[in-house]
Amino acid sequence: MGFVTTEDGVDIFYKDWGPKGAQPIVFHHGWPLSSDDWDAQMLFFLGEGFRVVAHDRRGHGRSAQVSDGHDMDHYAADAFAVVKALDLNNAVHVGHSTGGGEVARYVARHGKPAGRVAKAVLVSAVVPLMLKTDDNPEGTLMEVFDDFRASLAANRAKFFRDVPCGPFFGFNRDGADPIEGVIQNWWRQAMMGSAKAHYDGITAFSETDQSDDLRAMTVPTLVLHGEDDQVVPIEASARKSIDLLPNATLKTYPGFSHGMLTVNADELNADILAFVKG
């Protein structure tokens, strides 16, 4: 574990586990969480002989709680600062939700020279664009994101309890069995971060059109999405992304939620491993 300082002076926390000569897998977490959200994946892939790396996005987790730079350009540049400091090559970049947008911007902007990025995996990713517009009628209404901001500003602790109890893991569905430890861990990670970073991050993940980023991702890319994702609906995300990506495969999961990497880790880990080794 350690910190990398970015070009604009932000300290980014990272974890780096496993043999230095092994192929690296770099994990990019979702909003408003931290690298701890990858526990199930980091332990699994470490056990498979990979070098696993994950960082806390600026303003999230243990990284510096700066007031500025909460946008996809800075998110990708911060990830590159970690990759550069650790001299990672032939890496597989795996991103969940907002982290999927970060991976897309990273590969498009920082994926050169050839050989630095081997493959990419987008899980429940926010790309190409979450917001409903005239050109993106399948997207989510601005009023929903305005409600997110209002709820966060009014009582962040309550808002960050309501999200994992409800749509994030599908615990609001009939017959669901909420896992209290999962809910508490989500809340713990979220509350470690900065309210300012989380507030600004809503704009970053909802209003950034990443269609051009996807078109620029020429590396083999695996797109994974739950068909019952209530946070990032599949019709506005994965099913559109697959038409923009030059070299991609889509796999969907009936009944799986936005938080499937946690509650369905065994199945997701096996599919990602098969792609990485394939």
Res 1: pLDDT: 75
The rounded percent of the chain whose pLDDT value lies above 90 is 98
Annotated active-site residue 124? The verdict is no
Identify whether 229 is a catalytic site residue: yes
- The band of 150, judged by pLDDT with boundaries at 50, 70 and 90, is very high
pLDDT tens digit sequence for 8-56: 999 999 999 999 999 999 999 999 999 999 999 999 999 999 999 999 9
pLDDT in the model for residue 114? 73
Check 34, 35, 63, 97 and give the catalytic one.
97
**Which of these is catalytic: 16, 78, 213, 229?**
229
Please tell me the predicted confidence (pLDDT) of residue 46: 98
**What's the whole-number average pLDDT of the chain?**
97
Q: Which residue has the tokens 């508490």?
A: 184
Residue by residue, DSSP assigns the chain as -EEEE-TTS-EEEEEEES-TTSPEEEEEPPTT--GGGGHHHHHHHHHTT-EEEEEPPTTSTTS---SS--SHHHHHHHHHHHHHHHT--SEEEEEETHHHHHHHHHHHHH-PSTTSEEEEEEES---S--B-BTTBTTSB-HHHHHHHHHHHHHHHHHHHHHHHHTTTTTTTSTT----HHHHHHHHHHHHHS-HHHHHHHHHHHHH---HHHHHT--S-EEEEEETT-SSS-GGGTHHHHHHH-SSEEEEEETT--TTHHHHTHHHHHHHHHHHHH-
Residue 113 confidence (pLDDT): 81
**Whole-number pLDDT of residue 112:** 84
Q: Average of pLDDT values for 262-270?
A: 98
Question: What is the mean pLDDT of the segment spanning 225-247?
Answer: 98
What domains does the chain contain, in order, with CATH numbers?
2-277 (3.40.50.1820)
Report pLDDT for 115: 82
Is 0.85 topped by the overall pTM? yes
Per residue in 78-136, pLDDT (tens digit) is 999 999 999 999 999 999 999 999 999 999 999 988 789 999 999 999 999 999 999 99
How does pLDDT run across 154-171, given as a tens digit for each residue?
A: 999 999 999 999 999 999
